[in-house]
């Protein structure tokens, strides 16, 4: 726990956090005088403004599952440090594409096979995160864990309720945390240069 003096110093340095916690009267006083006014909540309750690092949600990929709702959905599940699950939903085709079962639904559940739509958000997101396409889009379910296991993500979370009334954390706008590279193209180029032909 910090002492109020160091918290006050931080509030003076961080103008956005200070303005967010100020009342209208405090903001007007600061505007008129030109001197920083520490919010009253900062002097009474040190815990009112958590450290900036606590706002960032850090997630890691856990698993995926398919579900037959309307036309088919793939659900990517992510976990935070406390092992709380967050689910991201993408449209997908769950039907067999070839063979005698063409057009029939595949089995749904954990690790199920799916085909993301050509212009769908899953393909755009996968390319952006990993830096390249999978070997085949119809087998992308086999590459998910290998490609995403070392990456850290963040996103926007809201509470939703499933059809049985059970609440869950829905994840939207999934993006990589800065400093985590997806595809190591330089390393791959070096490996190809080292191969004697």
pLDDT reported for residue 121: 93
Quick check: is 187 in a domain?
Answer: no
Q: For the chain, how many structural domains are there in total?
A: 2
Residues 65 and 152 in one domain: yes
Quick check: is 185 in a domain?
Answer: no
Quick check: is 47 in a domain?
Answer: yes
Residues 122 and 94 in one domain: yes
Residues 114 and 169 in one domain: yes
Quick check: is 120 in a domain?
Answer: yes
- For the entire predicted model, the pTM comes to 0.63
Cα→Cα distances 144→41, 77, 193, Å? 46, 11, 28
Cα→Cα distances 78→57, 89, 114, 117, 138, Å? 11, 11, 19, 22, 22
Residues 48 and 72 in one domain: no
Quick check: is 193 in a domain?
Answer: no
pLDDT reported for residue 86: 95
Residues of the chain below pLDDT 50: 1-2, 4-5, 7-9, 43-51, 53, 182
pLDDT reported for residue 43: 47
pLDDT reported for residue 104: 84
Residues 161 and 114 in one domain: yes
- CA 142 to CA 131: how far, in whole Å? 17
Quick check: is 79 in a domain?
Answer: yes
- CA 138 to CA 74: how far, in whole Å? 13
Residues 125 and 98 in one domain: yes
Quick check: is 49 in a domain?
Answer: yes
| Cβ–Cβ < 8 Å for 115, 92 | yes
pLDDT reported for residue 32: 86
pLDDT reported for residue 126: 93
Residue 10, domain extent: 4-55
Quick check: is 22 in a domain?
Answer: yes
pLDDT reported for residue 94: 87
pLDDT reported for residue 48: 43
């Amino acid at each position: 726990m910090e002492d109020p003096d160091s918290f006050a110093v931080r509030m003076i340095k961080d103008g956005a956090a200070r303005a967010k916690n100020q009342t209208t009267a405090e903001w007007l006083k600061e505007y008129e005088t030109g001197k920083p006014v520490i919010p009253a909540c900062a002097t009474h309750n040190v815990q009112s403004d958590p450290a900036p690092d606590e706002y960032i949600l850090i997630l890691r990929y856990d698993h995926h599952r398919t579900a037959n709702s309307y036309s088919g959905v793939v659900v990517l599940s992510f976990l935070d440090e406390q092992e709380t699950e967050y689910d991201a939903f993408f449209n997908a085709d769950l039907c067999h594409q070839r063979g005698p079962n063409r057009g029939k639904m595949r089995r749904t559940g954990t690790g199920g096979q799916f085909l993301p739509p050509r212009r769908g958000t899953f393909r755009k997101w996968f390319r952006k995160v990993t830096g390249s396409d999978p070997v085949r889009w119809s087998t992308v379910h086999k590459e998910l864990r290998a490609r995403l296991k070392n990456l850290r993500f963040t996103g926007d979370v809201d509470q939703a309720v499933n059809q049985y009334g059970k609440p869950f954390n829905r994840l939207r706008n999934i993006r990589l945390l800065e400093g985590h590279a997806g595809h190591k193209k330089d390393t791959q180029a070096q490996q190809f240069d080292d191969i004697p032909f």
